[in-house]
Amino acid sequence: MSQSDNTAIPGGKLVLVEFEDGIAWVTLNRPEKRNAISPKLSDEMLSVMNALECDERCRCLVITGAGDSYSAGMDLKEFFRETDRLDAEHKAAVVRSAAEWQWRRLMYYMKPSIAMVNGWCFGGAFNSLVACDLAIAAEEATFGLSEINWGIIPAGNVLKAVSAVMNQRDALYYTMTGETFDGRKAAHMGLVNEAVPRARLRERTRELAKVLISKNPTAMRTAKHACKRVRSMDWEDSQDYLFAKLEQMQFLDPEKGRASAMSQFLDKKTFRPGLQNYERGR
């Protein structure tokens, strides 16, 4: 059943949601704190993600930040100093909530996701940046792993995220020096897919989101999850896993995309793979 236009929009305070032609623009909304991640923001973000995963108005998730920042990372006062006095059990609950939306859920979200890095992106913000399937940055954006300057290390799986997409020399350089870099450098190192002038950032992100939305949703979900999972498998396990997922899709795909595409290519001669999508709905 389709969602009506007056269906409640999740979030509303620390996380804003805007729907546009299948795109859910999700904005971290603490501009006065450079969208630093607090325990309350984490709780609200997790609720938003849970709601959007089943919301038909969201066919592609875009995460960005209000104002001139994507996110400055974890809020040092609310996430660290104020939790230092908590007992181990309550502190672990706060950490779990932040980790849950930043990478556990986001890494294998049911819908395609894009990080739109509009500005300042530091520390803990790298988790959601990397966990999103794709990332577009403003050329003018500023990135940094500044933890070394505070006498600490990038924890909370930030280093795991960075090492998953950047080569070791680049990851070590910016971890050890704490130096900043811009969107162009982030794209060159593979931290984001591409960098564009900030004036064109939303337009380019919209273009990419529309490409993702145009694909078969079951194939999209399976392909992106498989691409991430096979990285840690050996070749034999990967082949077995991928064949199993391919067969599973034939039962799960309501569009029957494989059969439709094969028929359009072999029988009707109307489909040119690599140049277009098969005609969905047939």
Domain end among 168, 196, 213: 213
What is the reported pLDDT for 278?
83
Quick check: is 60 in a domain? yes
Quick check: is 277 in a domain? no
Quick check: is 4 in a domain? no
Question: 26 or 82: whose pLDDT is higher?
Answer: 26
Across the range 38-53, mean pLDDT stands at 94
Q: Indicate if 262 and 142 belong to the same structural domain.
A: no
Q: Indicate if 131 and 30 belong to the same structural domain.
A: yes
Quick check: is 190 in a domain? yes
Quick check: is 279 in a domain? no
What is the reported pLDDT for 1?
34
What is the reported pLDDT for 86?
62
Q: What is the CATH number of the domain that holds 65?
A: 3.90.226.10
Domain end among 170, 186, 213: 213
Q: Indicate if 127 and 146 belong to the same structural domain.
A: yes
Q: Indicate if 102 and 227 belong to the same structural domain.
A: no
Quick check: is 274 in a domain? no
Q: Indicate if 56 and 100 belong to the same structural domain.
A: yes
Digit-coded pLDDT (tens) for 144-196:
999 999 898 898 889 999 999 999 999 999 999 999 999 999 999 999 999 99
Domain end among 149, 183, 213: 213
Q: Indicate if 28 and 133 belong to the same structural domain.
A: yes
Q: Indicate if 63 and 203 belong to the same structural domain.
A: yes
Q: Indicate if 149 and 258 belong to the same structural domain.
A: no
- The pTM of this model reads 0.92
What is the reported pLDDT for 134?
98
Digit-coded pLDDT (tens) for 136-155:
999 999 999 999 998 988 98
Question: For residue 20, what are the domain limits?
Answer: 15-213
Quick check: is 58 in a domain? yes
Quick check: is 273 in a domain? no
Digit-coded pLDDT (tens) for 213-251:
999 999 999 999 999 999 999 999 999 999 999 999 988
Domains: count for the chain: 2
CB atoms within 10 A of CB 161: 24
